[in-house]
Structure 1
């Protein structure tokens, strides 16, 4: 699975930024809730940075240090503040050596690809300072219902809705925000829909089991059924480790 995911996204990095509009929206909405509650100059790790949708929204935090991890993608080409130390952590997020005493563990549109996301969230909590935050997004079990109706199996092993993400958080973590969304894209025809999946690297969800004749049959069936849509069901969760953050601003009380 890991090799297939890396290969699928590596092949389509050039088209990802333009095609992955939903993933860009998800990263923006997560940051809207996250950034106002972050302490100044945090120590941050982002897991699965991809082409940098969420990474761009972490820039305004002016991190003291940031570790950027991805299975396949190179570091996003961004202009970081001079005082920010940027570290590349290439590889499987479940196997890398994590930095300690983090203020934030962030990840957008990546957890669904893990076989055991709870293990990663346990590791995140262990490496947070008191008061530190975990901010993650995934996709819910109802993701791509149009494809499910065609008999295509889910491509990711760990779809979680917001409740599922909260359940996967370690007990010691306090959930401060969790929500589900629905984002529906419309396409001119089925060929355009599958082109979208290919351009975002998600065509691997068929696992190589979809033959050319069957694909053509499914596309004709979709075109006959009327408007061609693809529905994303993103899920989001932000949780805090109990205790005051060492880098939090002093109380004004």
Structure 2
């Protein structure tokens, strides 16, 4: 199958449109950010970080934990579109001395120069939008201090598998083995890597589509158009993913496949 070329402008537009609804509906992404932060706390021996860089900060699911629960002097936040800064007004309005100095680096990380002398590069639920992950890993290695950390979550090949099965639309996700190989080839040692399957359940397939739209995930469907017929077919075919709760209520499953990684630049 031909690899899907990811349209960054389309991604920025869809996530900007979902900006107000994302925080409310992106429950899985919030859980993933919390889990990733627990791994960061577990594997970073020194909780003091001079300079940190977050790729694809979005509404700040991970950022706020980094700011409030790690001792960071400077945190540089990246995303595709400047509207995300609205999610950080609370930080800007607080001059508490333990909060880091917040800086912004807007744009596509595949094209940008990374900040210098980093102790930590972090990213939650964003690297799946990268066309060439090795480019990002190479830049990360160049900009991290010796024994600096690259900590991220991304998604594996079973992510949103129901949508891909029914529409043919979706990203070409890397396997956990692919990620390991790319990290090792680019000079990282892997301290932790794991994967999980998480399911959300909905009472109707229409809610599945509403959830995806509210979280900006429809950015993959740049050439896909819903018609009355394709929508009816989608609802009908989603029956194959039916499940039932303890009370026997019919539910429609949507699968997420997070992968967590804590890597370190070799000395």
TM-score where L is the length of structure 1: 0.89
Number of residue pairs aligned between Structure 1 and Structure 2: 241
Q: Tell me, what secondary structure is at the counterpart of 2:78?
A: strand
1:99-145 superposed Cα distances (whole Å, 9 cap, x missing partner): 11100000111111111011101101110011100011111111112
Cα RMSD (Å) of the superposition? 1.8
Structure 1 stretch 72-81 or stretch 224-233: which is displaced more? Answer: 72-81
2:246 is matched with which residue? none
Match of 1:99 among 100, 103, 115: 115
Gaps of 5+ in 2: 1-6, 243-250
1:201-243 superposed Cα distances (whole Å, 9 cap, x missing partner): 1122222413222123212332586331100011121111122
Gaps of 5+ in 1: 244-253
> For residues 168 and 153 of structure 1, what CA distance do their matches in structure 2 show?
25
The 4+ residue runs of structure 1 with deviation greater than 4 A are: none
1:162 is matched with which residue? 176
Q: Tell me, what secondary structure is at the counterpart of 2:110?
A: coil
1:151-177 superposed Cα distances (whole Å, 9 cap, x missing partner): 4222x24x1232222222144211000
Q: How does 1:150-229 map to 2 (within 5 A)?
A: 150-154=166-170, 156-157=171-172, 159-169=173-183, 170-213=185-228, 214-223=230-239, 226=242, 227-229=251-253
Q: How does 1:126-137 map to 2 (within 5 A)?
A: 126-137=142-153
> For residues 94 and 203 of structure 1, what CA distance do their matches in structure 2 show?
21
1:55 is matched with which residue? 63
1:29-48 superposed Cα distances (whole Å, 9 cap, x missing partner): 11101124333133100000
The answer on whether the counterparts of 1:162 and 1:236 sit within 8 Å (CA) in structure 2 is no
Change (3 A) 1:52 1:176: same
> For residues 256 and 264 of structure 2, what CA distance do their matches in structure 1 show?
27
Matched, 1:22 2:28: yes
1:71 is matched with which residue? 80
The answer on whether the counterparts of 1:161 and 1:234 sit within 8 Å (CA) in structure 2 is no
Match of 2:259 among 235, 238, 243: 235
Q: Tell me, what secondary structure is at the counterpart of 2:260?
A: strand
> For residues 47 and 171 of structure 1, what CA distance do their matches in structure 2 show?
18
> For residues 112 and 186 of structure 2, what CA distance do their matches in structure 1 show?
24
The answer on whether the counterparts of 1:138 and 1:160 sit within 8 Å (CA) in structure 2 is no
TM-score where L is the length of structure 2: 0.85
